[in-house]
């Protein structure tokens, strides 16, 4: 393989779990642009149909599979469909997240609800597809965490706004970082790499955060601003590609330098 092809996903089949949000769509676009054959698993297939049609019209390989990651049966059936159609799977991007809690004093049932996707669903996805890649002795998993899995909550950011920063998100994103290290150790001997990316705050032009938050957040970073969703995709492509063939167990912050200050 030539050096120029090291960063390509050409010939690779990649599963992305979660694709309906701003970041999910940006990641999907980055993966197909890099040449990957992308399967997006989502509970809400309808919300992705127009996006998938646009990707396919541009000559990219994009398909949607309706899947409930809270169910091992649903995940196993998805694995079997992908293996049956493509013969194998080369990469997994876990971008699913459930955020039912709004505040520290919410009903404890909402905490349990978030566990179904962010903890149990994550582990089930990793095991089912990690084992499938290990059987072929190759593959790469990239989990999408957050800087909120690395730092504590900063109340100053939210002063004067209606925004909240509930505890379940911090718990799950922090757990994802260390589970990634465990999985990297477990699957490494089978040739499967497992890494995690921790994005910083992403500016959503369709639903912009209050200006007070945006300004404060920018002052906390070295680059003086929030991220654009498209800026996360390059790191994901890199960790899925052969350019990162000796990288595993790594947490890569994509945060404009916020956690380095």
35: left (phi over 0), alpha (psi -120 to 50) or beta: left
**The domain 3-260: what is its CATH number?**
3.40.50.720
Measured between its terminal Cα atoms, the distance across the chain in Å is 38
Number of neighbours of residue 36 by Cβ within 10 angstroms = 27
pLDDT at 261: 87
Residue with tokens 């919300």: 47
Torsion of CA 110, 112, 117, 122, to 10 degrees: 140
**pLDDT by position in tens, the chain (length 261):** 456 689 999 999 999 999 989 999 999 999 999 999 999 999 888 888 888 888 898 899 999 999 999 999 999 999 999 999 999 999 999 999 999 999 999 999 999 999 999 999 999 999 999 999 999 999 999 999 999 999 999 999 999 999 999 999 999 999 999 999 999 999 999 999 999 999 999 999 999 999 999 999 999 999 999 999 999 999 999 999 999 999 999 999 999 999 998
pLDDT at 2: 53
pLDDT at 4: 64
User: Degrees (nearest 5) of the Cα angle 24, 28, 34?
Assistant: 145
pLDDT at 43: 86
Domain ranges of the chain: 3-260
């Amino acid at each position: 393989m030539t050096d120029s092809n090291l960063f390509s996903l050409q010939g690779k089949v990649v599963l992305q779990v979660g694709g309906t949000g701003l970041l999910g769509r940006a990641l999907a676009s980055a993966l197909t642009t890099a040449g990957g054959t992308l399967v997006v698993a989502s509970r809400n297939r309808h919300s992705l149909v127009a996006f998938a049609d646009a990707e396919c019209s541009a000559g990219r390989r994009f398909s949607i599979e309706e899947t409930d990651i809270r169910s091992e049966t649903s995940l196993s059936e998805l694995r079997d469909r992908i293996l049956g159609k493509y013969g194998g799977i080369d990469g997994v991007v876990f971008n699913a997240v459930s955020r039912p809690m709004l505040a520290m004093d919410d009903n404890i049932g909402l905490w349990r609800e978030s566990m179904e996707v962010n903890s149990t669903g994550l582990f089930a996805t990793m095991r089912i597809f990690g084992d499938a890649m290990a059987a072929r002795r190759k593959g790469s998993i990239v989990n999408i965490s957050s800087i909120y899995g690395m730092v504590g909550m900063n109340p100053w950011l939210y002063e004067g706004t209606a925004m909240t920063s509930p505890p379940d998100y911090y718990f799950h994103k922090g757990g994802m970082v260390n589970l990634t290290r465990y999985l990297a150790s477990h699957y490494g001997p089978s040739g499967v790499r497992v890494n995690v990316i921790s994005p910083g705050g992403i500016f959503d032009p369709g639903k912009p955060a209050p200006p007070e938050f945006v300004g404060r957040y920018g002052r906390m970073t070295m680059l003086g601003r929030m991220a654009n969703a498209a800026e996360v995709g390059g790191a994901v492509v890199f960790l899925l590609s052969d350019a990162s063939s000796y990288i595993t167990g790594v947490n890569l912050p994509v945060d404009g330098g916020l956690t380095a200050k």
